[in-house]
Amino acid sequence: MLAAVPSAVSACVFRREAPADAAAIEAIHEATFGPGRFARTAFRLREGVASVAALSLVAERQGQVVGSVRLTPILIGETAPALLLGPLAVLPELKSQGIGKALMRRSIDLARQDGHRLIVLVGDLPYYWPFGFRTVPPGKLGFPGPVDPARLLAAELVPGTLASVGGMVRADRTPAA
């Protein structure tokens, strides 16, 4: 009889990102996105802004950080608070074993529990659809750089939130309480 092989996701511990994880996360970003990541509009929105500590998670396997998701505070139209999700990344050698989905589920659940209303991201709709992300109507959100409109997605944690906001998106540099 074949012994059950534990999947990568079941061998992972999911926990909040800690400052000591920064180098390991940076290495995953380099391996998954390469140097082009620095030119992305989403990267520029996050630059110099602390991610939300309570929502930014890592997957750790055998003491090694193998996946990460970050959520960063943004303001839409100057005043409406929302979250920007990303980067979401998993070490290439462990991809398609459920780690990305597990990070997504956990961070979105925490965001909802903490009373957040809207999450925006730039990514592939087929991957993010099961988590409630839909394409943002054209022209609704403006960004400080180019964004492919087909990849601009939002998930309403409180139904109707997207309809009530609009305008330029910028980093929320208000220090966290």
Ligand X SMILES: CC(C)(COP(=O)(O)OP(=O)(O)OC[C@H]1O[C@@H](n2cnc3c(N)ncnc32)[C@H](O)[C@@H]1OP(=O)(O)O)[C@@H](O)C(=O)NCCC(=O)NCCS
Instruction: Report the interface residues with ligand X, using CB under 6 A.
Output: 32-33, 88-90, 95-101, 123-124, 126-127
Nearest approach in angstroms of CB 25 to ligand X is 12
Nearest approach in angstroms of CB 53 to ligand X is 21
**Beta carbon nearer to ligand X, 14 or 33:** 33
Nearest approach in angstroms of CB 99 to ligand X is 4
Beta strands at 64-76 and 167-171: parallel, antiparallel or unpaired:
antiparallel
**Beta carbon nearer to ligand X, 10 or 174:** 10
Q: Tell me the residue nearest to ligand X as measured from the CB.
A: 100
**Rounded Cα–Cα distance for residues 42 and 45 (Å):** 5
Pair 41, 123: CB distance under 8 Å: no
Beta strands at 152-156 and 118-122: parallel, antiparallel or unpaired:
antiparallel
**Beta carbon nearer to ligand X, 95 or 112:** 95
**Beta carbon nearer to ligand X, 22 or 163:** 22
Sequence-ordered list of residues with C-beta below 8 angstroms from that of 133, at least 6 positions apart, any chain: 119, 121, 123, 125, 153, 154, 155
